[in-house]
Chains A and B, each alone.
Chain A
Amino acid sequence: MGDYKFAKDKLAEVLSSLGDYQVFAPTPAGDVVRFLEVKDPAAVTLESANSTVPPKELMFPETETLFKYRLGDTGLDPSVPDASARRLVFGIRPCDAMAYTIVDNLFSWDFTDPYYLNRRENTTLVGFACGDPCANCFCPSMGGAPASEKGLDALMFDLGDTFYVKTLTDKGDAFAKAAGLDAAGDAESKAAEKQAEEALGKVKRSIDTAGIPEKLPSLYDHPFWEQFSDRCLSCGICTFLCPTCHCFDIQDEAEAFNARRARMWDTCMFAEYTVHTSGHNPRPTRKERTRNRISHKYSYFPEKFDVIACVGCGRCINNCPVNIDLLDILEKSKQAEGKEAKTA
């Protein structure tokens, strides 16, 4: 594990030198920034505070084939990603890297999911510390930080003319070697430390989560959910852009005789998500769906995996078309008076 650096104007050069890897980096795409495979290093942007679309899609794509088959045949051809491939995510923010460590729990409990886990294994994560946290970030409240090292193989800091790179794992060292980075000294590591501390102080929003996981079940019937669900449009953007949301649908699709079984992102904010074939829906209105989204992240998930399924990236707040504010919901949940779970 070492300290490295490279001049900012050498960014394209560094990215080009990673020929052994399939490299993904934040890239403007229409109105959004998302992590795309680097074809032209000049297209990469490190200016954006964070990508609009989280890099969860690199481990858990919006749609992916589980297996292919021919209609009429019974032979199944699985499309499992190669665990020994070499992929590298360049410029991932610490919150999004931490999100992987949370979602890992889900995809590896009991039944292991080779699609997600093989991608996790074959990918090197080169993080990019936040010098200027966004307006709605609250990563420190979720156990993160603008320069958190959780889940990362290397962490990069913007020091003006220079990028300082601290490698954290063997995978990170392999990246530094492949990129031919120069050694950095005390000056750079001290500057990075200072920046990390200052950035932490710049995070404007926070929530004390103590007691929330235990309390939420007692608010099952509480009317306070309606303050938020009444204006919810059920658009699902809070879940699609959430780096820890992992729910999916599975569908069979066929074109002529070429068929596949695929999985695709789904959202608990859609009515169809839970509706039974009989027409009965255990979560019939936006109230039940809002309650489930919040309870899943802040109560059910931690009960099962001992970690809250949120990293404080602020995307759900930034992108909600009707300004539903997650932290507002959590604060109100703390004020609301709970009662013992009802019995049937």
Chain B
Amino acid sequence: MMDESNPYLPYIVKVEDAWYETPVGDRAVKTFKVTFEDEKVWDTWSHRPGNCAMVGRLGIGESMFCISSSPTEEGYLRFSIMQAGKVTSAIHEVDAGDTLTVRGPLGNSFPMEEWEGKNIVSIGGGIGQAPLRPVINYVRANKDKYGDLKVLYGARTSDLHCFKTEFDEYSGEGTACHLAIDVEEEGWPHFVGFVPDLLMEVAPSPENTIAVTCGPPILIKFVTQNLEKLGFTPDQIYTTLEERMKCGIGKCGRCNVGSMYVCKDGPVFSYETLKKIPEAFA
């Protein structure tokens, strides 16, 4: 866990490996596999699917990202980061052998224990797959505790899918992977269309099932509507929110939706909770 006496002090992490998930260029997604420079940190570190961390570069700043590796992947942390602004551009300059800073784990997490015995449907779009990956890998690593796993994942084009090399592993006994792209591509054998439509095509049963979704706000909005059409109740639907953040520990003020701080009370919310907060969808 973080230095209890000073939650503003980050850990120094070494980048073991770094690679692009999507074509190099503006808004590319790059994954960083990191380990703590001080190995003793592992003795007290523990995180859960859904937890976030402030990742940064000294001299530039830090921003909040979800930890995109599951705690069942031991010995490293992974962050999959889209280049967008000042901090993410600086982080993208980093490669294996360089250092970054990590402050965390922060925020709440998916209630994995509560979901035991249930089927899990993961519905992601674009970089929104990053917080879903630890859920998927956690369920896969604890197969005996969960029912069926369905992974639904879409992106604008096939090369914009993140974690492509893992898709084959998602299909197997009790697990299925359904991919989508927005626009037809030659040789694409899977669904063509938006993720909410893919959801209606796959039409998972709501019975004893939890749906987890993340992606752009418009995706979350229509996926949620379609889940309700399929018979899912708000307490069966989970998502993660994001807001601009600075402290990550519920002090600096800006990330609130209503009375909830997304950094501290989130990022994971059930749709049942979000329905009561008008600002959640602002």
User: Which of A77-118 touch B at CB < 8 Å?
Assistant: 78, 80, 106-107, 109-115
Taking a contact as CB atoms under 8 Å apart, the answer to whether A344 and B253 are in contact is no
Taking a contact as CB atoms under 8 Å apart, the answer to whether A221 and B88 are in contact is no
Taking a contact as CB atoms under 8 Å apart, the answer to whether A282 and B243 are in contact is yes
Inside 8 A of B7's CB, which chain A residues have their CB?
A: 111-113
Interface: B85 (CB within 8 A): yes
| Nearest A residue (CB) for B12 | A74
Q: A38-46, A157-165, A298-306: which lies at the B interface?
A: A298-306
| Nearest B residue (CB) for A80 | B6
Chain B residues within 8 Å of chain A by Cβ, number: 48
Chain A nearest CB, measured from B106 CB (Å): 9
Interface: B80 (CB within 8 A): no
Taking a contact as CB atoms under 8 Å apart, the answer to whether B9 and A276 are in contact is no
Could you give 30 example pairs across A and B, Cβ below 8 Å? A67-B8, A69-B58, A71-B58, A74-B12, A110-B249, A112-B4, A113-B251, A114-B5, A217-B258, A217-B278, A247-B253, A249-B252, A250-B246, A250-B252, A251-B61, A263-B247, A266-B252, A266-B253, A274-B244, A282-B243, A283-B282, A296-B253, A296-B256, A300-B258, A303-B259, A341-B276, A341-B277, A341-B278, A343-B275, A344-B274
A71 and B7 CA atoms in complex are apart in Å by 21
A206 and B99 CA atoms in complex are apart in Å by 56
A341 and B256 CA atoms in complex are apart in Å by 16
| Nearest B residue (CB) for A249 | B246
Taking a contact as CB atoms under 8 Å apart, the answer to whether A277 and B85 are in contact is yes
Inside 8 A of B221's CB, which chain A residues have their CB?
A: 344
Which B residues fall within an 8 A CB radius of A?
Answer: 2, 4-10, 12, 37, 58-63, 84-85, 88, 99, 217, 221, 224, 242-244, 246-247, 249-254, 256-259, 264, 274-282
Given contacts A110-B249, A277-B244, A278-B84, 20 further A-B contacts (CB under 8 A): A69-B58, A71-B58, A74-B58, A113-B7, A113-B251, A114-B5, A217-B278, A248-B252, A250-B8, A250-B252, A252-B60, A252-B61, A263-B8, A263-B246, A268-B253, A282-B279, A283-B282, A292-B256, A300-B258, A344-B274
| Nearest B residue (CB) for A76 | B9
Interface: A342 (CB within 8 A): yes
Interface: A220 (CB within 8 A): yes
Chain B nearest CB, measured from A176 CB (Å): 33
Q: Which of A259, A292, A341 has a CB less than 8 Å from the CB of B58? A: A259
| Nearest B residue (CB) for A292 | B256
User: Which of A235-264 touch B at CB < 8 Å?
Assistant: 246-252, 254, 259, 261, 263
Q: Which of A76, A111, A261 has a CB less than 8 Å from the CB of B251? A: A111
Given contacts A259-B58, A278-B84, contact A248 B253 (CB under 8 A): yes
Interface: A173 (CB within 8 A): no
Interface: A191 (CB within 8 A): no
Interface: A273 (CB within 8 A): yes
User: Which of A266-280 touch B at CB < 8 Å?
Assistant: 266, 268, 273-278, 280
Interface: A336 (CB within 8 A): no
Taking a contact as CB atoms under 8 Å apart, the answer to whether B60 and A250 are in contact is no
A109 and B5 CA atoms in complex are apart in Å by 13
Taking a contact as CB atoms under 8 Å apart, the answer to whether B8 and A268 are in contact is no
Inside 8 A of A288's CB, which chain B residues have their CB?
A: 282
| Nearest A residue (CB) for B280 | A344
A275 and B242 CA atoms in complex are apart in Å by 11
Chain B nearest CB, measured from A287 CB (Å): 12
Interface SS of chain B:
loop
Taking a contact as CB atoms under 8 Å apart, the answer to whether A66 and B8 are in contact is yes
Chain A nearest CB, measured from B85 CB (Å): 4
A344 and B280 CA atoms in complex are apart in Å by 9
| Nearest B residue (CB) for A250 | B246
Q: Which of A69, A111, A273, A275 has a CB less than 8 Å from the CB of B250? A: A111
Q: Which of B37, B247, B274 has the most CB of A within 10 A?
A: B247
A259 and B61 CA atoms in complex are apart in Å by 11
Q: Which of B249, B254, B258, B277 has the most CB of A within 10 A?
A: B254
A70 and B215 CA atoms in complex are apart in Å by 38
Taking a contact as CB atoms under 8 Å apart, the answer to whether B278 and A250 are in contact is no
Taking a contact as CB atoms under 8 Å apart, the answer to whether A248 and B246 are in contact is yes
Taking a contact as CB atoms under 8 Å apart, the answer to whether B278 and A342 are in contact is yes
Inside 8 A of A112's CB, which chain B residues have their CB?
A: 4, 7
Inside 8 A of B10's CB, which chain A residues have their CB?
A: 76
Inside 8 A of B250's CB, which chain A residues have their CB?
A: 106, 109-111
Taking a contact as CB atoms under 8 Å apart, the answer to whether A300 and B84 are in contact is no
| Nearest B residue (CB) for A291 | B279
Taking a contact as CB atoms under 8 Å apart, the answer to whether B253 and A74 are in contact is no
Taking a contact as CB atoms under 8 Å apart, the answer to whether B282 and A282 are in contact is yes
A248 and B99 CA atoms in complex are apart in Å by 27
Inside 8 A of A217's CB, which chain B residues have their CB?
A: 258, 278
A344 and B2 CA atoms in complex are apart in Å by 36
A217 and B258 CA atoms in complex are apart in Å by 8
Inside 8 A of B84's CB, which chain A residues have their CB?
A: 277-278
Chain A nearest CB, measured from B195 CB (Å): 17
A342 and B274 CA atoms in complex are apart in Å by 11
A74 and B38 CA atoms in complex are apart in Å by 12
Inside 8 A of B58's CB, which chain A residues have their CB?
A: 69, 71, 74, 252, 259
| Nearest A residue (CB) for B261 | A304
Chain B nearest CB, measured from A304 CB (Å): 6
Inside 8 A of B242's CB, which chain A residues have their CB?
A: 276
